[in-house]
């Protein structure tokens, strides 16, 4: 059972796993998100205002670039909003794989 916006939704185990632990109460700061991106091989491309752009590259066995993914990480105090976390996770999932943000 997950509580979102004062409504209660009943989720089966498969759906809850697909949505990740972000929906069941886990929050992350921008620093934690950035640390996880860099642990997996992502790198900082640029910063504009209070948003940093991170990029991840997937290469084949000959080190040729196969896939590139980018995501904007808001660098604000406090926790990153759950919807923003899902968006960042979705944008970088082609390179890092599903559920990469959750250890």
Q: Where are the domains of the chain?
A: 28-96
Tell me the whole-structure pTM to 2 decimals. Answer: 0.74
Transcribe 44-92 into DSSP letters: EEEEETTEEEEEEEEE-TT--EEEEEEEEEE--SSBPPHHHHHHHHHHH
Predicted confidence band of residue 5 (pLDDT cuts 50, 70, 90): very low
Predicted confidence band of residue 21 (pLDDT cuts 50, 70, 90): very low
Q: Looking at residue 24, what DSSP letter applies?
A: T
**For residue 102, what pLDDT is reported?**
84
Q: What is the mean pLDDT of residues 68-96?
A: 94
What's the CATH number for 28-96?
Answer: 3.30.920.30
pLDDT in tens, 39-78: 999 999 999 999 999 999 999 999 998 999 999 999 999 9
């Amino acid at each position: 059972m997950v509580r979102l916006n004062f409504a209660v939704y009943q989720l089966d185990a498969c759906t809850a796993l697909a949505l990740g632990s972000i929906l069941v109460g886990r929050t992350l700061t921008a620093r934690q998100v950035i640390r996880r991106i860099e642990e997996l091989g992502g790198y900082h491309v640029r910063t504009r205002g209070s948003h940093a752009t991170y990029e991840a590259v997937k290469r084949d066995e000959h080190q040729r670039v196969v896939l590139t993914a980018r995501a904007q990480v808001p660098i604000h105090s406090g926790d990153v909003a759950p919807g923003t976390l899902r968006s960042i996770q979705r944008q970088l999932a082609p390179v890092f794989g599903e559920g990469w943000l959750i250890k």
